Amino acid sequence: MRLPILVCVLILGLFSQAEARIKIPIPWGTDQEIHKIQPLIIPDAEDDSPYLGYVTETTYVLWIFGLSIENQGYAIGEGLESENRGSLLNAELLSQFQTEGIIPNTIPSSPSLSFLDILKGYSFWWTLLLLVGLGVWIGRKHA
């Protein structure tokens, strides 16, 4: 019974103004990442390795636990995928690149998140669910 109460207190602590009152920094922030879909051949491009990708923005707590993930749309990435350099494509540019044959016409209007993106982006909630389930299971086992 103590584990669910402890989990609730931790959640309330994370989302309260505890950081401001007691001056304990809770590390959290956002991170944008470009995920490569396929390489592109762009005539007269300065960069030798452009690729089509999609951008996600993940909100983290404690540097590793994802609270939420948002799909920002398609992007043209530059350089290595790990460098996360590139620019978002608006609908006008996307349609222009499709007309020019740089990007295939078969791609959906909005990219979808992969299973791993969803798993990583909501890892805080998956971990919380696992801990509460484990606490209930252990509580029933000892009861």
Query: Could you tell me which of 46, 119, 111, 118 has the C-alpha nearest to residue 85?
Result: 46
All structural domains of the chain with their residue ranges: 27-142
Triad 71, 75, 79: Cα angle to 5°: 125
Once rounded to an integer, what is the mean pLDDT over residues 10-23? 56
Does the structure show a pLDDT above 60 at 51? yes
What's the pLDDT score for residue 135?
Answer: 86
Q: CA 83, CA 35: separation in Å to the nearest integer? A: 11
Q: Which residue has the higher pLDDT, 96 or 16?
A: 96
Tell me 132's DSSP state: H
Does the structure show a pLDDT above 70 at 10? no
Does the structure show a pLDDT above 60 at 1? no
**What share of the chain in percent tops pLDDT 70?**
76
pLDDT in tens, 86-129: 889 988 988 888 888 888 888 888 899 999 999 999 999 999 99
Model-level pTM? Answer: 0.72
